[in-house]
Amino acid sequence: MARELMKGNEAIAAAAIGAGCRYFFGYPITPQNEIPEYMARELPKVGGAYVQAESEVAAINMVYGAAGAGARVLTSSSSPGISLMQEGISYIAGAELPCVVVNVMRAGPGLGGVQPSQADYFQATKGGGHGDYHLIVLAPANLQEAVELTQLAFDLADKYRNPVMVLADGMIGQLMEPVELPPDRPAAELPAKDWATTGTDHSAGRRRIINSLYLYPDQLESHVRAIFRKYAEIERNEVRCELQACDDAEVVIVAYGTTARIARSAIAKCRGLGLRVGLLRPITLYPFPVAAFDPVVRTARAFLVVEMSMGQMVDDVRIAVAGRRPVSFYGRTGGIVPTANEMVKQVQLILEGRGA
Amino acid sequence: MKIVYQKSAGLTDVPLHYCPGCTHGIIHKLVAETLVEAGVLGRTVVVAPVGCAVFAYDYFNCDAQEAAHGRAPAVATGIKRVHPEAIVFTYQGDGDLASIGTAEIVHAAMRGENITVVFVNNAIYGMTGGQMAPTTLVGQSTTTSPQGRLRLGQGAPLHVCELLATIEAAAYIARVSVNTIPRLNGAKRALKRAFQMQIENKGFSLVEVLSTCPTNWGMSPTDALRWVEQTMVPVFPLGVYRDIEGGT
Amino acid sequence: MPEVVFAEALCKGCELCVTICPTKVLKLDTSRVNVRGYFPAIVYNLTSCSGCGSCAKICPDSVITVRR
């Protein structure tokens, strides 16, 4: 495998093509424009199609059509554009279609700013779109992981017939790092989709319908309950989480994405000061790694949740900790990225009994 | 004895739910017949709208995708890019296409997507109970223009064919109606030409069909057909608005 | 004489066929209702029927089959 210096956005796009994705529908928005630009350059070379849609609303509906037609398909956007995609995402989940949506988060709300943020956690994990559904949400903390999780996203989407979000932030999107791209997986090797609309000539005359409309309540309830049996399976099988130095930690930092990466530096500094600090890093935000907290709760004294937001994942941490230990929160917003020193300071406050 | 007319194989056995005399049924038949006669039914995918025709996926005897309101041209774009050999058509009403979906229809035409759009214009929102549409006539009373559509504040009806005819990659744009047998035959000819454009990969095609809504217009089906001729056709002239091969 | 057959259960009594018929051989049978509760359309004067098929063409519900 060759190592190449790539920008995060481009690494994600390259990873998608490597996973057999041949269709991209999107719209420019800062800070993720390198994704559509990479796709516009590279997809035609592999016989794929790049379509610049008229808006994110149109883009997500093109994704729906292409996914319903049986293809591996990607779209990407950043926070305000992801807001526009919510209706389409709800339809994709309701119609049980596979697709991958990349959100390179920027500061909000509203037009906000273009610098990194993690303030779309609620939108990604608690809905965003209407109705009962979940996105599988994968949160990379560095570019190599972004490559791996983007490829995993396509596999999970197909396996469960559900949309999957790769939740990155502007830092990951814009950083340049060496990455290794796995060998390309030919699109022809992927399992066939016997529910896709390819024309009845291909299905011995049996019509295939992609739909999320169920006007009879008993049918809609059955449909939604069946989808939730899928989510139960996803919660059993697909949790991913990383623990670092938690075995003897007094304070455990809980963070994901870029914040987790900075937390590693904070932990190194803390350890250098004789402070026993660890990191619990969720990689799947849905399904949230609830069970990973149980062994840590037994030995740690306190949790410090750090996010680039006013506090969103902290709610899920509090649910997982279930009152057994105090949970503190430290956040920066507006596009400001917290420093390792700020995190060290918060840990010190907690250990001095003054909380965070 | 030879068959003069029988139900098209392009339709399923599901009874149509449309109101008595609604022209959706006629338009469904013409599209179904066109697909069968062109020999493409087995590679067709229909994209159903939100509106009275929301159940179109139950009626056309081919694969189908249900779209969000207004988004059918985008959904069709996704399908067609993945399966360029498929015949992909959308079937949309005046709210779906000319209100919430205005961006999607313009840009699908702009990009020259090789799809066919069947635009059913009955100057009102049928499924939701008779509200004003972008194509409602000035002075026409609806539940959200109870005094009749007022130019001041509500404007005048949108002319979709005229607008789309300015788009270079639109291969065929035509407006027809189905309120008499000669008009119906003309509508079928236009649909045949539109689908032929797609079969020959010549670009985007759209047929606007002036249609009735007896229930929300408050008239009998027969009177509704007459209202199309007397009141709609003068505002929405029939004809071919764009044909890249110069046909009429 | 032409043959005009109605799949009566599908008829919604809309009268488009009655209106469109050039020889006026169709009417609604108001003496009964079909399974949907509508007065079904019938041919009441087959001898004047030209077998043009206009009724079948205009019927939104594909009720009518015409043979000649």
At B12-21, the pLDDT tens digits run: 999 999 999 9
Residues found in chain A: 356
Question: In order of start, what are the domains of chain C with their CATH numbers?
Answer: 3-67 (3.30.70.20)
Give A-chain residues touching B54 at CB under 8 angstroms.
213
Yes or no, beta carbons of A209 and B64 under 8 Å apart = yes
Does B7 have pLDDT greater than 90? yes
Yes or no, beta carbons of B42 and A95 under 8 Å apart = no
Q: What is the pLDDT of residues B52-99, one digit of tens each?
A: 999 999 999 999 999 999 999 999 999 999 999 999 999 999 999 999
Question: Model confidence at B180, in pLDDT bands (50, 70, 90)?
Answer: very high
Give B-chain residues touching A70 at CB under 8 angstroms.
82
Question: Model confidence at B247, in pLDDT bands (50, 70, 90)?
Answer: low
Question: In order of start, what are the domains of chain A with their CATH numbers?
Answer: 3-199+224-237 (3.40.50.970), 241-351 (3.40.50.920)
Q: What is the pLDDT of residues A15-62, one digit of tens each?
A: 999 999 999 999 999 999 999 999 999 999 999 999 999 999 999 999
Q: Chain B residues with CB-CB distance to A under 8 A?
A: 12, 41-45, 47, 54, 57, 61-68, 71, 74-79, 81-83, 86, 103-104, 106-107, 111
Cα nearest neighbour of B27 on chain C:
C60
Residues facing residue A26 across a β-bridge: A52
Question: Model confidence at A192, in pLDDT bands (50, 70, 90)?
Answer: confident
d(CA B17, nearest CA chain C) in Å? 9
Question: Model confidence at A191, in pLDDT bands (50, 70, 90)?
Answer: confident
Q: Does C37 touch chain B (CB under 8 A)?
A: no
Does A125 have pLDDT greater than 70? yes
Q: Does C28 touch chain B (CB under 8 A)?
A: no
The whole-number pLDDT of residue A187 equals: 63
Question: Model confidence at B248, in pLDDT bands (50, 70, 90)?
Answer: low
d(CA C16, nearest CA chain B) in Å? 6
Yes or no, beta carbons of A199 and B111 under 8 Å apart = no
Q: What is the pLDDT of residues B130-172, one digit of tens each?
A: 999 999 999 999 999 999 999 999 999 999 999 999 999 999 9
Mutate to test the interface with B, among A27, A60, A61 (most CBs of B within 10 A): A61
The whole-number pLDDT of residue B46 equals: 98
Spatial contact of B212 and B27, defined as CB atoms under 8 Å apart: no
Which residue from C59, C61, C67 is facing B3, i.e. has the nearest CB?
Answer: C67
Q: Is the peptide bond before A287 cis (omega within 30 degrees of 0)?
A: yes
Burial class (CB in 10 A: 0-12, 13-18, 19+), A346: buried
Cα nearest neighbour of C5 on chain B:
B6
Give B-chain residues touching A199 at CB under 8 angstroms.
42-45, 62-63, 83, 86
Q: What is the pLDDT of residues B211-230, one digit of tens each?
A: 999 999 999 999 999 999 99
- For the entire predicted model, the pTM comes to 0.95
Cα nearest neighbour of B3 on chain C:
C67
Least confident of A173-187, A203-217, A318-332: A173-187
Yes or no, beta carbons of B62 and A210 under 8 Å apart = no
- 3-class SS string, B117-175: EEEEECCCECCCCCECCCCCCECCCECCECCCECHHHHCCCCCHHHHHCCCCCEEEEEE
Q: What is the pLDDT of residues A131-167, one digit of tens each?
A: 999 999 999 999 999 999 999 999 999 999 999 999 9
Yes or no, beta carbons of B62 and A69 under 8 Å apart = no
Question: Model confidence at A2, in pLDDT bands (50, 70, 90)?
Answer: confident
Give the Cα separation of A27 and C33 in Å (integer): 56
Give the Cα separation of A243 and A299 in Å (integer): 13
Alpha helices in chain B, H assignment, sequence order: 24-37, 56-59, 72-82, 94-95, 102-111, 151-154, 160-164, 181-199, 214-217, 221-227
Instruction: Give me B36's structure tokens.
Output: 């069968």
The whole-number pLDDT of residue A356 equals: 52
Give the Cα separation of A104 and A36 in Å (integer): 12
- Is the pair A, C in contact (3+ CB pairs within 8 Å)? no
Yes or no, beta carbons of A53 and B82 under 8 Å apart = no
Instruction: Provide CB contacts within 8 A for A76, sequence distance 6+.
Output: A9, A12, A13, A24, A26, A32, A35, A36, A101, A102, A103, A104
Cα A260 to its chain centre, rounded Å, is: 14
Cα A310 to its chain centre, rounded Å, is: 19
Give B-chain residues touching C18 at CB under 8 angstroms.
222
Which residue from B6, B23, B222 is facing C60, i.e. has the nearest CB?
Answer: B23
Yes or no, beta carbons of C65 and B7 under 8 Å apart = yes
Cα nearest neighbour of C58 on chain B:
B26
Does B47 have pLDDT greater than 90? yes
d(CA B48, nearest CA chain A) in Å? 9
Question: In order of start, what are the domains of chain B with their CATH numbers?
Answer: 24-243 (3.40.50.970)
Give B-chain residues touching C8 at CB under 8 angstroms.
none
Instruction: Give me A3's structure tokens.
Output: 């190592």
Mean pLDDT, range A341-355, rounded to an integer: 91
- What's phi and psi for A44, nearest 5 deg? -60, -30
Residue the block writes with tokens 């799809």: B115
Which residue from B15, B184, B220 is facing C57, i.e. has the nearest CB?
Answer: B184
The whole-number pLDDT of residue B200 equals: 98
Does A354 have pLDDT greater than 60? yes
Spatial contact of B162 and B168, defined as CB atoms under 8 Å apart: no
Q: What is the pLDDT of residues A68-97, one digit of tens each?
A: 999 999 999 999 999 999 999 999 999 999
Chain A touching partners, 3 or more CB pairs below 8 A: B
Yes or no, beta carbons of A200 and B42 under 8 Å apart = yes
Spatial contact of A335 and A107, defined as CB atoms under 8 Å apart: yes
d(CA B61, nearest CA chain A) in Å? 7
Does A355 have pLDDT greater than 60? no
